[in-house]
């Protein structure tokens, strides 16, 4: 079962508020289930609630309708991944270290890698705070390269999106990208 119900890709689609509400409620229900039952039962070892981040991520994720769009997030980015089309059982299975997650139980469950043949992808994430900015800048450069050097029209209009906490902008992963630090 997928929690996603994307609006039509053509033109400028209106927000599908029913899909958005369902995704936000799914995200909150998963956080609550983990916090109240799965962490106390030691069936999950890492829980990073996305509560309060969920609505903005879902609305942003539903807008990423270009097949070459990509987003890199961090450990609170599950609502975005649900909006991109990740199945609920995969999202939960990953956190529980079960088969069916992104790496069949070989990741820590809260960071994602979602190559999406049907729409926007999630670039590989990691738990290092600030590590998401460099791959996102690299993907933006790749979009520009494909458009201007390779003349690949498939990348016209594609964007590269990053999510991060406020403290992450103090890390070296973010800092070198600031223009006044470029020398």
Ligand X SMILES: Cc1ncc(C[n+]2csc(CCOP(=O)(O)OP(=O)(O)O)c2C)c(N)n1
Residue 176 interacting with ligand X (CB under 6 A): no
- Is 13 or 165 the residue whose CB approaches ligand X more closely? 165
Binding mask 124-163 for ligand X (x = CB under 6 A): ---xxx----------------------------------
Task: Please identify which residue in 41, 151, 153, 166 interacts with ligand X, judged by CB under 6 A.
Answer: 166
Indicate the residue whose CB is closest to ligand X: 165
End-to-end CA distance of the chain: 50
Q: What are phi and psi of 87, to 5 degrees?
A: -70, 145
Smallest distance, ligand X to C-beta of residue 23, A: 19
Binding mask 76-115 for ligand X (x = CB under 6 A): x---------------------------------------
Smallest distance, ligand X to C-beta of residue 170, A: 8
- Within 61-80, the residues that bind ligand X by CB under 6 A are 76
Task: Please identify which residue in 57, 77, 136, 168 interacts with ligand X, judged by CB under 6 A.
Answer: 168
Residue 52 interacting with ligand X (CB under 6 A): no
Q: What are phi and psi of 83, to 5 degrees?
A: -65, -30
Task: Please identify which residue in 138, 165, 175, 176 interacts with ligand X, judged by CB under 6 A.
Answer: 165
Q: What are phi and psi of 6, to 5 degrees?
A: -70, 150
- 106: Cα within 13 Å, side-chain hemisphere: 3
- Is 13 or 128 the residue whose CB approaches ligand X more closely? 128
Q: Is the dihedral of CA 13, 16, 19, 23 positive or negative?
A: positive
Which burial class, exposed, middle or buried, applies to 158 when counting CB atoms under 10 A from its CB (0-12, 13-18, 19+)?
A: buried
The packing angle between helices 17-33 and 54-63, to 10°, is 140
Identify the residue whose tokens are 């689609």. Answer: 13
Residue ranges in contact with ligand X by CB under 6 A: 76, 127-129, 164-168
């Amino acid at each position: 079962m997928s929690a996603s119900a994307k609006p039509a890709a053509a033109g400028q689609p209106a927000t599908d508020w029913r899909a958005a509400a369902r995704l936000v409620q799914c995200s909150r229900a998963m956080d609550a289930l983990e916090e109240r039952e799965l962490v106390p039962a030691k069936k999950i070892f890492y829980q990073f609630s996305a509560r309060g981040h969920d609505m903005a991520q879902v609305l942003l994720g539903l807008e990423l309708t270009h097949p070459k769009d990509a987003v890199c997030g961090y450990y609170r980015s599950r609502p975005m991944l649900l909006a991109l089309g990740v199945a609920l059982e995969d999202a939960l299975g990953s956190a529980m270290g079960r088969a069916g997650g992104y790496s069949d139980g070989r990741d820590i469950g809260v960071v994602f890698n979602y190559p999406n043949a049907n729409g926007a992808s999630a670039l590989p994430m990691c738990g290092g705070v600030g590590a998401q900015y460099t791959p996102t800048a690299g993907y933006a450069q790749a979009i520009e390269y494909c458009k201007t050097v390779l003349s690949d029209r498939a990348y016209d209009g594609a964007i590269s999106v990053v999510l991060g906490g406020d403290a992450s902008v103090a890390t070296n992963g973010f800092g070198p990208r600031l223009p006044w630090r470029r020398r």
